[in-house]
Structure 1
Amino acid sequence: MEMSAEDFEQLVTDQLDLLPDDMVDGLDNVVFVVEEEPEDGSDLFGVYDGVAQTERGQYGFGELPDRIVVFRKQHLLECDTLEDLEDEVHTTLVHEIGHFYGIDDERLHELGWA
């Protein structure tokens, strides 16, 4: 599948807007970023770069924001239709937001978000 970087970013924004308020309202000091692919060449769809809410101690003022990164290339390689792409981006966002809340990969798999 092909899609411009700008259109992919808009799709990510649209999918983020569709998430339930109770999932995103608690996201404090988090930015969402779209990058082409991971620097290490892995085939990740996304990554949470930060300190999970369950592991924070003296976290707050002056801290750089946590980042949720969505990788464009892997999504486009794996998806054949716009509907597939929307579903995969949605799953990636939920998965990485889950990491923000301290949910590990095993539990995310159990819940169907990995």
Structure 2
Amino acid sequence: MTDDIDAPPVLGLDAAAFERLVVDELDRLPDDMVDGLDNVVFVVEDRPEDGSLDLLGLYDGWALTERERYGGVGELPDRIIVYREPHLAVCADEGELRDEIHTTLVHEIAHFYGIDDERLHELGWA
């Protein structure tokens, strides 16, 4: 029996094609959502470190609501990571994939602004 983690994704987009979709969806976000992002980079990775397909994205950094001092010399930027293979595993077609990428971007950007998962769920972004 094959473990679900090793099941091939329904969509077969390579890393470059998936990254183009992420950039397209990022460009479609409202300016007031992305203009406030300071010292944040967007990264596409195949899977989370644990190899699972359960996590679609991750905000790796300090939310604005938790920052006392920020932006010092040599400080690495925060990262918003979008995981390719988990997205491909849960989406049946490109339209659904675009919608899921969009939701993931909004969700992770919201964490940058200090919005927690409970509130995101209330708003329909979790």
The range that moved more, 40-49 or 17-26, is 40-49
Deviation at 1:33, TM superposition (A): 0.1
Unpaired runs of at least 5, structure 1: none
Please give the alpha-carbon distance, in whole angstroms, between the structure 2 residues aligned to 1:110 and 1:18. 23
**TM, length-normalised to structure 2:** 0.89
Residue 57 of structure 2 is aligned to residue 50 of structure 1: no
The aligned residue for residue 49 of structure 2 is 39
Flag the structure with larger Rg. 2
Question: Out of 46, 70, 79, which is 2:82 matched to?
Answer: 70
Deviation at 1:61, TM superposition (A): 2.6
Partner SS for 1:106: helix
CA RMSD of aligned residues (A): 0.7
The aligned residue for residue 8 of structure 2 is none
The aligned residue for residue 110 of structure 1 is 122
Unpaired runs of at least 5, structure 2: 1-10
Please give the alpha-carbon distance, in whole angstroms, between the structure 1 residues aligned to 2:69 and 2:117. 25
Deviation at 1:54, TM superposition (A): 0.5
Give the percent of matched residue pairs that are identical in Structure 1 and Structure 2.
70
Deviation at 1:89, TM superposition (A): 0.1
